[in-house]
Structure 1
Amino acid sequence: MPPSCVTLSPSVPPNFGTLATSRMESTSKSEVPSTPSAKAANIKPAKLNSYPFYSPRFWHGMRPAAWWRLLRSGSFEISPSRIPMVISVSLTTFVNTLLTWLQNVLFARRLREAELHGPPVFIVGHWRSGTTLLHELMVRDERFSSPSTFQCFAPSHFLVTQWFFRKFASWLLPGKRPMDNMDAGWERPQEDEFALMNLGLPSPYRRIAFPRRKQVDMEYLDLIDVSNEDRETWLSTLRSFLLRVSVSTNRPLVIKSPTHTGRIGHLARAFPQAKFVHITRDPRSLFPSTCRLWRSLDEVQSLQTSDEEGLDEYVLTCLAKMYDSFHADRPEIDEHHIIDIRYENLIADPVGTLRTIYESLRLSDFDTVSEDIQDWADNEHRQYKTNKHQLDPDQEKLLLDRWSDYFDRYGYR
């Protein structure tokens, strides 16, 4: 049997967060699913925070063609309770089309002349490995920028609409994310994978809409089995989105998506001189925390109710597929363009870890931002404790078997 996602000793998290996606690697409540193992231990499943019916879901940022392809990919197997959401999204897609047309008219010249302001920095690593915490810390440096939650939510028209949503529509988002007590907000740094999905590209994140389909668009975790034409479409869409973000921010970009982990070879060729920060975490914590993440997203975002069958296997398979590609492509990247860090070290010494990243990748002068990072460590960070995860011997044995290379390469055995 796959290991059950059981988490003990909940802790208070930092107030990092965005729209219903994994933010930091600790949660404010026990991450315990209703599995046989959990019941045997007499531990109740964690209760998700309320997510208002009027709050937007990922799919509200799509245009009609992307929305239709998503519904068709799930064979229109929509649960009755999700029909109001489907109607709402369907109506919104036409509004998105009109706003996209308006953006293309008003920003035509700036979009034609757009360019990236220096090589991007990609933060990669498995979900719940600390990518979000690192992302939040790096963009505290005002010399960098990042795609925001709204830009990833509405990638087709954010240049003409982001000011309105930031100023007048913050109430649309709940104060806290569904899976924990972290803050939500339109301006929080976000994963560009959501933007690519809303732009109509295939993405493993489309599984969230139809979780009963188990494994969706898995070939896009590494792009290996994707045709040359489709791969070029994917890369050109990513570049186009990042150029629009650059028009908005006028600064170099720090980009974070766990899904990029298995794509580093393609990204390095598409963005010469790009830098990569790779972060790892003890799989004994990584696994149950990731299960919790997908379960919470399925609860809030899906178009059909989920039976959670096959979730454990999905998590096991994703890491193996991503890292097979990551390890194969890593030798192609200049040693000064990539660095490995550990979540455990980032938590223990955020200032020292950030300094190592800046110096190793030759990003810029770290002393300029070190005081701000130190202030965060001294005030906000001191009160946080990460969750402790417990697996029984059989469960740990399975992880050691399926993820043996990860354990050995990064010193977690």
Structure 2
Amino acid sequence: MFFYFDFITWFKLVRLVSQEKKAKRRRSAYRYLLLTIPLRAMGHALCFFLDGILFPGLWFTKVRNPVFIIGHARSGTTLAHRLMCEDQRFSAFKYYELLLPSLIEKKLVRLAAWVDRTILGRSIERRLQAWEDKKFGPMRHIHKMGLTIPEEDDLVLFSSCASGFWATRVPNMDDVDFFHIDQRPPASRRRLMGFYRECVRRQMYLNGGNVIHLSKNPVFCGRVEAVIEAFPDARFVVLYRNPYETIPSLLKLLHTGWKIQGEIDKQKAARSSRVSVEISYESYLHPDEVLARHPEVPRAIIDYRQLVAEPKATMERVYTELGIPMTEQFRRVLEEEQNKSGRHETAHRYSLEEFGLDDTEIRQRLAPLFERFNWDADMPEIKKPKEAAKA
């Protein structure tokens, strides 16, 4: 399998950079897109090709019955993923492993980590921790990130210019689409998902082979059909949370990411925000529509409120519906989590008005889900921007 690179999206990104009015930002973006990304992709491509030669056992590694956790961003997918990662039968990507899609690269990092622990007294580890604090610090109050923390699979496509994480770097969501993979031509969809499957296979080989891949990806709400095509025996866990909480929370995350890149064009940010809201509606509705066409696909639906209040009972039901027997070791983990239930909090505050959102529009667009999950009964207080800042 050869390394995948989305040249169409790459050319779009280069074109968008040419429209940047500030010369300093334009030069920096050009260096990144015309030099850093191509060099990085070529290095990954070489290592990706050599994987099958240096590790022949890779060809015998099979991806069987993977589990995909999906749902609108900020809907509890991270919490569900963290809980299921405690089950040792699952294999998941860590952040640094997503940045290094080839098996050779991952093996070299693990070797360097061993040398650092046994010979260098963890000096490299301490420097990396300092870098982590600087890199991820501004975002950790919204989403906890770190090099060794499990993260969204979609990041493995970043150097291929095919990852939704690009949306946090460029506020051009009206020009570049990372969400609607199910609507792409079949050949294009197969190339992308075929490469992703190869990345998953390498991760499973690294983690022992005889494991179950566990994926957490909000952006995969737009590629459920593509996932089923690439993984016919896939199983899904779908999270639902009140959109009055999730949609402004996602917008806050995106705007924070854009601000980190520097001052942004307000009109461009506003257009991208509107596109994000439309995608949010699809994130809630599209998975249900696709899974309804595939009744044979195992799935479990999680109400975020139940996951937070009763994690043990919720996960026991999920395992039953997915046909996964629960081990006693994992059951004890859930019991410990149950003792902490209700403490899952975030310092992140949301406000519909801050982003010009209309609660009436949200209620109308997602009316079937409001009735299904009775979100009206516990509708959160919608704070004004100044009130949210004081909270």
Q: TM-score range by the shorter chain?
A: 0.7 to 0.9
CA positional deviation for 1:209: 3.1
CA positional deviation for 1:95: 5.5
Match of 2:287 in 1: 326
Match of 2:42 in 1: 97
Instruction: Judging by fraction of residues, say which structure has more helix.
Output: 2
SS in 2 for 1:341: strand
Deviations 1:384-410 (A, max 9, x none): 435675657983212212333432343
CA positional deviation for 1:263: 2.1
CA positional deviation for 1:288: 1.6
CA positional deviation for 1:110: 2.8
In the alignment, structure 1 residue 174 sits paired with structure 2 residue 133: yes
Q: Is the 8 A contact 1:222 1:321 kept in 2?
A: no
Q: Is the 8 A contact 1:265 1:332 kept in 2?
A: no
SS in 2 for 1:254: strand
CA positional deviation for 1:352: 1.3
Match of 2:16 in 1: 74
1:296 to 241, 250, 256: 256
Deviations 1:167-192 (A, max 9, x none): 53634322654223465322211111
Query: Residues 69 and 388 from structure 1, CA distance in 2 versus in 1: closer, same or farther, beyond 3 angstroms?
Result: closer
Match of 1:286 in 2: 246
1:148 to 84, 89, 94: 94
Deviates more, 1:233-242 or 1:393-402: 393-402
Q: Distance in 1 between matches of 2:365 and 2:294?
A: 27
Query: Residues 110 and 164 from structure 1, CA distance in 2 versus in 1: closer, same or farther, beyond 3 angstroms?
Result: closer
Match of 2:174 in 1: 215
Q: Distance in 2 between matches of 1:352 and 1:292?
A: 32
Deviates more, 1:284-293 or 1:153-162: 153-162
In the alignment, structure 1 residue 269 sits paired with structure 2 residue 229: yes
| Aligned residue-pair number | 347
In the alignment, structure 1 residue 163 sits paired with structure 2 residue 105: no
Give me the CA root mean square deviation.
3.3
Q: Distance in 2 between matches of 1:409 and 1:222?
A: 25
1:245 to 203, 225, 230: 203
Match of 2:119 in 1: none
Match of 2:183 in 1: 225
In the alignment, structure 1 residue 110 sits paired with structure 2 residue 55: yes
Query: Residues 394 and 153 from structure 1, CA distance in 2 versus in 1: closer, same or farther, beyond 3 angstroms?
Result: closer
Deviations 1:179-220 (A, max 9, x none): 23465322211111121232243x444333321x232443x5
Instruction: With the length of structure 2 as denominator, give the TM-score of the two structures.
Output: 0.76
Q: Is the 8 A contact 1:145 1:253 kept in 2?
A: yes
Q: Distance in 1 between matches of 2:285 and 2:258?
A: 27
1:398 to 339, 361, 368: 361
Query: Residues 124 and 68 from structure 1, CA distance in 2 versus in 1: closer, same or farther, beyond 3 angstroms?
Result: closer
Deviates more, 1:332-341 or 1:91-100: 91-100
Q: Distance in 1 between matches of 2:191 and 2:6?
A: 19
Amino acid at match of 1:149: Y
Query: Residues 404 and 315 from structure 1, CA distance in 2 versus in 1: closer, same or farther, beyond 3 angstroms?
Result: farther
Match of 1:119 in 2: 65
Percent identical across equivalent pairs?
A: 19
Amino acid at match of 1:105: L
Query: Residues 222 and 70 from structure 1, CA distance in 2 versus in 1: closer, same or farther, beyond 3 angstroms?
Result: closer
Amino acid at match of 1:185: G
Q: Distance in 2 between matches of 1:405 and 1:159?
A: 45
Deviates more, 1:95-104 or 1:189-198: 95-104
Match of 1:42 in 2: none
Q: Distance in 1 between matches of 2:262 and 2:6?
A: 16
SS in 1 for 2:183: coil
Q: Distance in 2 between matches of 1:206 and 1:70?
A: 12
Gaps of 5+ in 1: 1-61
Instruction: With the length of structure 1 as denominator, give the TM-score of the two structures.
Output: 0.73
SS in 1 for 2:154: helix
CA positional deviation for 1:150: 1.1
Query: Residues 230 and 103 from structure 1, CA distance in 2 versus in 1: closer, same or farther, beyond 3 angstroms?
Result: closer
Gaps of 5+ in 2: 117-123, 377-391
Query: Residues 177 and 141 from structure 1, CA distance in 2 versus in 1: closer, same or farther, beyond 3 angstroms?
Result: farther
CA positional deviation for 1:305: 2.8
CA positional deviation for 1:232: 1.2
Q: Is the 8 A contact 1:128 1:290 kept in 2?
A: yes
Amino acid at match of 1:190: E
Q: Is the 8 A contact 1:265 1:333 kept in 2?
A: no
Deviations 1:33-83 (A, max 9, x none): xxxxxxxxxxxxxxxxxxxxxxxxxxxxx9897995464252434544544
Deviations 1:94-149 (A, max 9, x none): 35634652464365253651423531100010011011111111101111111111
Query: Residues 292 and 114 from structure 1, CA distance in 2 versus in 1: closer, same or farther, beyond 3 angstroms?
Result: farther
Q: Distance in 2 between matches of 1:303 and 1:230?
A: 33
SS in 1 for 2:68: strand
Match of 1:256 in 2: 216
